């Protein structure tokens, strides 16, 4: 109960007290993004991500950050265990990233505005036209130098195993011709999805794998590329987290 109070109190107060800040950044963004704006938005997201996980009492281990290509946008592709995956990534990847997220995020005041500043793309899967536009927006983000994150499973596994990737999930990266960087998350399901109470604590790990450059996948069809990335991630998961389809 005390852990839940700490997490909720921090999340609510941090977001509410950022209202003036987000309005100022939105006004600046109208005239175009600049380095200072990007750094300030990233700093806000990073603090939110690291602090909300810290409030759960969890430990975090990160490895492989040296595998991330520098000075260019990349598409991060990984498994999805929990709603805490997003705070983990914005808090510990050490670079600004946007996400492809559900359109329902728009219903969350202030937070949805921060996500737009982070170049997140909100997708309504029930609306084909809007979904196609969201994909196009994500491709444009990558081409304009903004890294993106996708979870190709399309749903949270909740620690029960990795769900097979959706075949069209890598279109953002292949269309933008950027490096694809796989990552592996373990332990975040213990913080929420399988916790005995509202929030739990656990040992969280984030491992960034070696990138796949465009020159390496340009002649590979989408199905084969999906299988390669899925296999690399699956090999890094503990036995308990292996793919549900095995």
Q: What percent of the chain has pLDDT over 70?
A: 92
Q: What is the mean pLDDT of residues 214-240?
A: 87
**CATH number of the domain enclosing 168:** 3.40.1130.10
Specify the higher pLDDT residue, 3 or 184.
184
pLDDT tens-place string over residues 12-34: 999 899 999 999 999 988 888 88
Looking at every residue in the chain, the average pLDDT score rounds to 87
pLDDT(246) > 50: no
What's the number of domains the chain is made of?
1
DSSP state of 212: B
Look at residue 196 and tell me if it is in a domain. Answer: yes
Q: What is the mean pLDDT of residues 183-212?
A: 86
pLDDT tens-place string over residues 77-98: 999 988 899 999 999 999 999 9
Q: What is the pLDDT of residue 123?
A: 85
**CA pair distance 129, 177, nearest whole angstrom:** 23
**CA pair distance 106, 72, nearest whole angstrom:** 29
Look at residue 246 and tell me if it is in a domain. Answer: no
pLDDT tier, 107 (very low <50, low <70, confident <90, very high otherwise): confident
Lowest-pLDDT choice from 114-123, 136-145, 177-186, 189-198: 189-198
Q: What is the mean pLDDT of residues 210-216?
A: 95
Q: What is the pLDDT of residue 200?
A: 83
Q: What is the pLDDT of residue 102?
A: 81
Look up the pTM and report it.
Answer: 0.90
pLDDT tier, 168 (very low <50, low <70, confident <90, very high otherwise): confident
pLDDT tier, 153 (very low <50, low <70, confident <90, very high otherwise): confident
Helical residues (DSSP H) of 177-240, grouped into ranges: 214-217, 222-236
Q: What is the pLDDT of residue 124?
A: 82
**CA pair distance 45, 42, nearest whole angstrom:** 5
Full strand arrangement of the beta sheet holding 148-150:
59-63, 203-208, 180-186, 75-78, 148-150, 98-102, 121-123
Strand partners, 59: 203
pLDDT tier, 42 (very low <50, low <70, confident <90, very high otherwise): very high
pLDDT tier, 193 (very low <50, low <70, confident <90, very high otherwise): low
Look at residue 128 and tell me if it is in a domain. Answer: yes
Q: Is 41 left (phi over 0), alpha (psi -120 to 50) or beta?
A: alpha
- What does residue 6 show for φ and ψ, rounded to 5 degrees? -60, -45
Q: Provide the residue range defining the domain that includes 60.
A: 2-241
**CA pair distance 35, 83, nearest whole angstrom:** 29
In total, the chain counts a number of residues equal to 246
**Residue matched to tokens 């769900």:** 163
């Amino acid at each position: 109960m005390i852990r839940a109070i700490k997490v909720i109190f921090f999340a609510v107060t941090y977001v509410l007290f950022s209202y003036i800040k987000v309005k100022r950044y939105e006004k600046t963004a109208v005239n175009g993004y600049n380095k200072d704006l990007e750094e300030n938005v990233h700093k806000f997201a990073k603090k939110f991500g690291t602090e909300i996980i810290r409030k759960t009492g969890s430990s975090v281990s990160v490895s492989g950050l040296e595998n991330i290509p520098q000075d260019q946008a990349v598409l991060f592709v990984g498994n999805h265990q929990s709603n805490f995956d997003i705070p983990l990534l914005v808090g510990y990847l050490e670079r600004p990233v946007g996400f492809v997220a559900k359109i329902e995020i728009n219903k969350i005041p202030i937070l949805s505005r921060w996500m737009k500043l982070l170049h997140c793309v909100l997708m309504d899967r029930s609306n084909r036209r809007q979904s196609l536009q969201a994909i196009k927006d994500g491709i444009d983000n990558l081409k304009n130098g903004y890294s993106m994150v996708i979870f190709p499973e399309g749903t949270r596994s909740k620690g029960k195993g990795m769900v097979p990737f959706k075949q069209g999930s890598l279109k953002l990266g292949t269309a933008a011709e950027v490096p694809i960087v796989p990552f592996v998350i373990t332990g975040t399901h213990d913080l929420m999805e399988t916790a005995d109470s509202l929030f739990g604590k656990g040992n969280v790990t984030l491992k960034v794998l070696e990138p796949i450059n465009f020159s390496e996948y340009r002649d590979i069809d989408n199905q084969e590329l999906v299988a390669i990335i899925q296999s690399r991630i699956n090999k890094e998961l503990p036995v308990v987290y292996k793919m549900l389809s095995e």
